[in-house]
Amino acid sequence: MSAKLDRLKEIDAQLTKFSTISELLYWDMRTIMPDGGFDAHSDAMDYIETESFRLSTSDELYKLLQDLSEPGEWDQLDDMWKFNVKTMREEQERRRRIPEEVFRRAVAISTASERAWEEAKEASDFSIFAPHLEKQIEITKEIKSYTHPDMEIYDSLLDDYEKGMDSATVDRIFSELRDGLIPLVHEILAAKQPDDSKFNRKYDIEAEKKVQKLLLTYIGFDWSRGTTAESEHPFTLDLVPTDVRVTNHFREDNAIDPMFSAIHEGGHAIFEQNVDPRYGATPAGGCDYLGIHESQSRFLENILGRNINFWKPIYADVQKLQPEFADVSLEEFAAEINHVRASMIRTAADEVTYCLHVILRYEVEKAIFREGVPVSELPALWNRKMEEYLGIVPANDAEGILQDMHWSDGSFGYFPTYLLGSIYDGMFLEAMEADLGPIDPILAEGRIGEIRAWLTDKIHRHGNTRRPKEVLAAVCGREATAEPLLRYFRKKYSEYYHL
Amino acid sequence: MSAKLDRLKEIDAQLTKFSTISELLYWDMRTIMPDGGFDAHSDAMDYIETESFRLSTSDELYKLLQDLSEPGEWDQLDDMWKFNVKTMREEQERRRRIPEEVFRRAVAISTASERAWEEAKEASDFSIFAPHLEKQIEITKEIKSYTHPDMEIYDSLLDDYEKGMDSATVDRIFSELRDGLIPLVHEILAAKQPDDSKFNRKYDIEAEKKVQKLLLTYIGFDWSRGTTAESEHPFTLDLVPTDVRVTNHFREDNAIDPMFSAIHEGGHAIFEQNVDPRYGATPAGGCDYLGIHESQSRFLENILGRNINFWKPIYADVQKLQPEFADVSLEEFAAEINHVRASMIRTAADEVTYCLHVILRYEVEKAIFREGVPVSELPALWNRKMEEYLGIVPANDAEGILQDMHWSDGSFGYFPTYLLGSIYDGMFLEAMEADLGPIDPILAEGRIGEIRAWLTDKIHRHGNTRRPKEVLAAVCGREATAEPLLRYFRKKYSEYYHL
């Protein structure tokens, strides 16, 4: 065994300690930390992130990764360590090009910007956030001039969240989807809507928690390697692959959202839990490709969870745990979870209109970074597109351009991954049914474990070692296309809405 | 402002970051961490504790503390920093004398010993734990030979948990208490017992949580600087003084224990929350004297919480939140929370027999460290004393000598602080009533805030800056004595049991 590889493993283990701590600080801040804990958590986080930045950009690691890339050493590495060395090297070369002053300035801008966004959203006043958004855009450009000097900036932003994805591909598949979807949505909205009066009631939150437990267990969440908590917005976080956590937000006015949040976050968690355990917490473990990650959460949430057959084996149990559903037939429940509405808020949207919410954000981001549209014009642009795609106009900034926090912390290029996930899902569903046959009877017979096994074999277990386009090639044997998703939508909603 | 003091403040802030992280890791492990998270948490903890040990024993800090103790620098320090420099220096001088090899060996022995204790308790077999206990005793002696070479070993153990307390004083007051208490307990146990049949029912855990919230709020827990969670054993933990957390263990078979755990841990938390905020997270902030700390949790739990008047303003609300108490009158409830029973388990004991459980442990610890009684003879010693003090004999090791985990991690000298707390409480109650008048009407009229204000003024706000004996001198103007506690017990239980 190479002494250099041993040293790399030590450094990797140290980086894992840093990330365990910083993830735990984040988890605590978002779940139960009282207000008074903010400063101490932030101080501890700064310290850990600085130490982690230093080690991950250190000269020692730089030299080590170079040495391990030399033929004599390289040839002795197994596939996983080849992947790890290559990935760490690419990542490090980018990070090392960011001057520490710029890195620190970016952190400070994000902190101020996140607070300004909260304030602006509260006041529903974009002008409070606008100057911070401008700074956030500028510092993003500045950082990209160091990390990706040779790449078009918006492509490099996409690449941050979905390695190897490019805007030419995204443009192509998003246009394909948008052009097919807008007429479908208009048809659906013009059709007779299901009666949702039974769902307008007060729900017991403790019952919602029990249903979450049932759902997570049913879809295969491993409780010995995961846990749950509550937070304002649901999220999934892995401290390490053997400690993967999901949160939910339970509400008295809505018991269905928390169910689908549970299945969605559970889909993320199951992915992390099912990566090949040999990869551990090394760069190969887990999945950093957010489109691929989202494909798994959305496959569970939408392709499986919004299929009436998913509920057949468990709906009676749900009714027992949550008696508010006792007078709701399975068919009524299925109609409601597939109820398409033109609505303002992305996170509350149904699976069909959701796509248009994301396309809108993608187009706004391109307007910012490609067309140089000034920040002051963005709310109007947003509202015009809402009208065009969904026929509705936000009454204020809070339900319009201020609704998401992603731009406040500089996560430009993140939104498209949500929709990439759904587009991949259409493709995965076709590949899966080619292998296993139609999923309807599999779900109806409670054989969801067979579906999970397929996803694990084809996708989960590979973790980071296959990049998004490689996943599509390996699983579907073709390039990204929105056609299967469109077909899935047309078929399913033609039935529900008798189109 | 001295540059040296500035540097000390930086180091102190760094030590606070380490402690925030290590407390958070501990908190997470004891509350929601899944089994799979154990290794990563342990690795991160090892890293942080090692860094903290290094910094706190560093030559730089040593030199800095020496320099700041020189007249020119010392005279410029305010009282708080004088306290901090003096305390850090004493602490550091002790820690620096422990060879790193010994420190690491002690950590390894504790880890193995804690696991062996769990296994032994599970199997109810002391012989599994015995060899580990022997090692724990030996390493404790070895460490003490470095840290406290000039102090009698058991005195130095007491000093670890209750600075300045000595076994001569403890012997005196514990004997006083034991000699007064054994006949009282025998009288009580021979008297007519209250009817507890109404409490033998199944309780709703969600209701217990709501009652905890009510109780914590009522006694003055500040939710903006604190939070709650569940754990196997209730505990209080402060990440920093502005983030103080309590846990509870809710049970279907008993709703009263969780109420008193909430009040007890809340008493600890309120202490931490009410230390002078100027002290922040420096050594002056918080309270490391466990007897004094316990005096506050027990004052809330017993002196206030087991007084029928405490419940008068809130009992109707408790009944509303927890309908299982709807048919329990306040008088019946009061009789049950003051029900004295001879029982095996310390943590489940009433406030009177609890004292004898602690005295027993104190005597066993002295037998170990003073009289050199071999480990193999300890279970028999334990059982003899149980029979002598409470007239009952454990049926097995699990409900006898293995019931507490304290010795497994080497916390010898910790047990006596529980009883010191109660003994101080008798003294504090007399001092308080001399200032405020009888507490019964204050409680009955819901003016508990006046009691808390008194405790804060006399005790909480001073944090660590007054050592236990100084607290007694300042608040009570006298040395430690068990007489007031005995008087309180005699008066209260003569009434309840018509003695």
CA distance linking residue B217 with residue B339, whole number of Å: 26
Mean pLDDT across B263-284? 97
Query: Are the beta carbons of A25 and B25 separated by less than 8 Å?
Result: no
Taking the C-alpha atoms of residue A45 and residue A42, their distance in angstroms, rounded to an integer, is 5
DSSP structure class, residue A466 = S
Q: At what angle do helices A290-298 and A256-273 cross, to 10 degrees?
A: 130
- Mean pLDDT of the region A330-341: 97
| Partners of residue B32 in chain A, C-beta under 8 Å | 227, 229
Among residues B342, B383, B392, B304, the alpha carbon closest in space to that of B188 is found at: B342
- For residue B312, give the DSSP letter: T
Q: Which residues of chain B have a Cβ shorter than 8 Å from any chain A Cβ?
A: 13-14, 16-17, 20-21, 24-25, 28, 32-37, 39-41, 43-44, 47-48, 206, 222-227, 229, 239-240, 242-243, 281
Give the pLDDT confidence of A3-54 residue by residue, as tens digits.
Answer: 999 999 999 999 999 999 999 999 999 999 999 999 999 999 999 999 999 9
Given the DSSP bridges, would you call strands B243-248 and B226-230 parallel, antiparallel or unpaired? parallel
DSSP-derived letter for residue B99 is -
Predicted TM-score (pTM) above 0.80: yes
Q: For the residues A478-495, what does the mean pLDDT come to?
A: 97
Residue A2 confidence (pLDDT)? 86
Query: CA nearest B369: which of B144, B163, B96?
Result: B144
Q: Which residue has the tokens 């910094």?
A: B55
**pLDDT value at residue A111:** 85
| Contact assignment for A34 to B240 by CB distance below 8 Å | no
Confidence of residue B1 (pLDDT cuts 50, 70, 90): low
- Closest CA–CA distance from residue B46 to any residue of chain A (Å): 10
CB–CB contact A243 B20 (8 Å): no
| Beta-carbon-side half-sphere exposure of residue B433 (alpha carbons within 13 Å) | 14
For position A85, what pLDDT does the model report?
A: 97
pLDDT score recorded for residue A27: 96
Q: Could you give the count of Cα atoms lying within 13 Å of A324 in the half-sphere of its Cβ?
A: 19
Residue B2's pLDDT band (cuts 50, 70, 90):
confident
Cβ-defined contact of A33 to B225 (cutoff 8 Å): no
Q: Which of B24, B39, B223 to mutate to test the interface with A (most CBs of A within 10 A)?
A: B24
Put simply, the answer to whether A223 touches B34 (Cβ < 8 Å) is yes
Backbone φ and ψ of A304, nearest 5°: -90, -55
pLDDT for B103: 87
Predicted confidence at residue B382, as pLDDT, reads: 98
Tell me the CA distances in angstroms from B27 to A241, B246, B275, one per residue in order: 20, 10, 22
Are the beta carbons of B240 and B22 closer than 8 angstroms? no
Considering only the beta carbons, identify the residue of B36, B206, B224 that sits closest to A243.
Answer: B36
User: Which of A32, A44, A243 lies nearest to residue B20, judging by beta carbons?
Assistant: A44
Answer whether B40 sits within 8 Å of A224, measured CB to CB: no
**A49 to chain B, minimum CA–CA distance in Å?**
12
Q: Which token pair is A329?
A: 């037939």
Query: B244 phi and psi, to 5 degrees?
Result: -115, 125
pLDDT band for B71, please (50, 70, 90 cuts): very high
d(CA B73, CA A192): 83
Percent of chain B with pLDDT over 70: 100
Catalogue the long-range contacts made by A227-236 (C-beta closer than 8 Å, 24 or more residues apart).
Answer: A227/B32, A227/B33, A227/B34, A229/A27, A229/A31, A229/A32, A229/B32, A230/A31, A231/A30, A231/A31, A232/A30, A233/A347, A234/A261, A234/A264, A234/A265, A235/A30, A235/A265, A236/A265, A236/A268, A236/A269, A236/A272, A236/A297
Q: A142-170 burial by CB neighbour count: b if 16+ within 10 A, else e?
A: ebbeebbeeeebbbbbbbbbbbebbbebb
Closest Cβ–Cβ partner in B40, B223, B243 for A40 = B243
Q: Which amino acid, one-letter code, is at A451?
A: I
Average pLDDT over residues A334-340: 97
CA B71 to chain centre: 38
Torsional sign, CA B358, B363, B365, B366: positive
Ramachandran assignment for B124, one of left (phi > 0), alpha (psi -120 to 50 degrees), beta (any other): left
* Mean pLDDT over the full length of chain B: 96
Packed helices A153-161 and A353-369: angle between N→C axes, nearest 10 degrees: 140
Q: Which amino acid does the sequence have at A145?
A: S
B151: left (phi over 0), alpha (psi -120 to 50) or beta: beta
On the question of pLDDT at B107 being above 90, the answer is no
Amino acid at A385: K
pLDDT one-digit tens code per residue, B393-421: 999 999 999 999 999 999 999 999 999 99
- pLDDT tens, position by position, A84-126: 999 999 999 999 999 989 988 998 899 899 989 999 999 999 9
Best B10, B14, B47, B282 residue to mutate vs chain A (most A CBs within 10 Å) = B47
* CATH class (in words) of the domain with range A154-499: mainly alpha
**B162, B265, B272, B363: which one is catalytic?**
B265
Dist CA A145 CA A233 (whole Å): 33
pLDDT in tens, B117-146: 999 999 999 999 999 999 999 999 999 999
CA A302 to chain centre: 14
Q: Which two tokens stand for residue B330?
A: 């306040």
The tokens of A175 are what?
A: 């246009």
Interface of A with B (CB under 8 A): 13-14, 16-17, 20-21, 24-25, 28, 32-37, 39-41, 43-44, 47-48, 206, 222-227, 229, 239-240, 242-243, 281
Question: Would you give the distance in Å from CA B471 to the centre of its chain?
Answer: 17
- Say yes or no to pLDDT of B100 above 90: no
Question: Are A34 and B229 a contacting pair at CB < 8 A?
Answer: no
Contacts of A36 in chain B (CB under 8 A): 222, 224-226, 240, 242-243
What's residue A92's pLDDT?
A: 93
pLDDT at A482 over 90: yes
Q: Which residues contact A1 (CB under 8 A, 6 or more apart)?
A: none
Domain B151-499 has CATH 1.10.3720.10: no
B323-365 residue pLDDT tens: 999 999 999 999 999 999 999 999 989 999 999 999 999 999 9
Residue contact A40–B20, C-beta within 8 A:
yes
Tell me the pLDDT band of B104, cut-offs 50, 70 and 90: confident
* Catalytic residue flag (residue B399): no
Q: How far is A194 from chain B (nearest CA, A)?
A: 35
Task: Give me the phi and psi of B227, to 5 degrees please.
Answer: -155, 180
* Mean pLDDT across A215-230: 98
Rounded to whole angstroms, how far apart are CA atoms B415 and B130? 19
Residue A176 C-alpha, separation from nearest chain B C-alpha, in angstroms: 44
Residues of chain B found within 8 Å of residue A48, distances taken between Cβ atoms: 21
Which amino acid is located at B239 in the chain?
L
Q: Which of A15, A223, A240, A247 to mutate to test the interface with B (most CBs of B within 10 A)?
A: A240
Interface test with B, best of A242, A245, A246, A247 (most B CBs within 10 A): A242
pLDDT digits (tens, 9 = 90+) for A234-245: 999 999 999 999
Give the C-alpha separation, B171 to B169, whole Å.
5
**A219 — pLDDT class (breaks 50, 70, 90):** very high
H-helix or E-strand containing A423? helix A415-436
The pLDDT-based confidence of A1 (bands split at 50, 70, 90) is: low
Active-site position among A162, A265, A294, A351: A265
From chain B, the residues in CB contact with A9 under 8 A are none
Domain residue ranges in chain B: 3-150, 151-499
CB < 8 Å to B49, chain A: none
pLDDT in tens, A56-89: 999 999 999 999 999 999 999 999 999 999 999 9
Nearest CB to B25: which of A24, A223, A225? A24
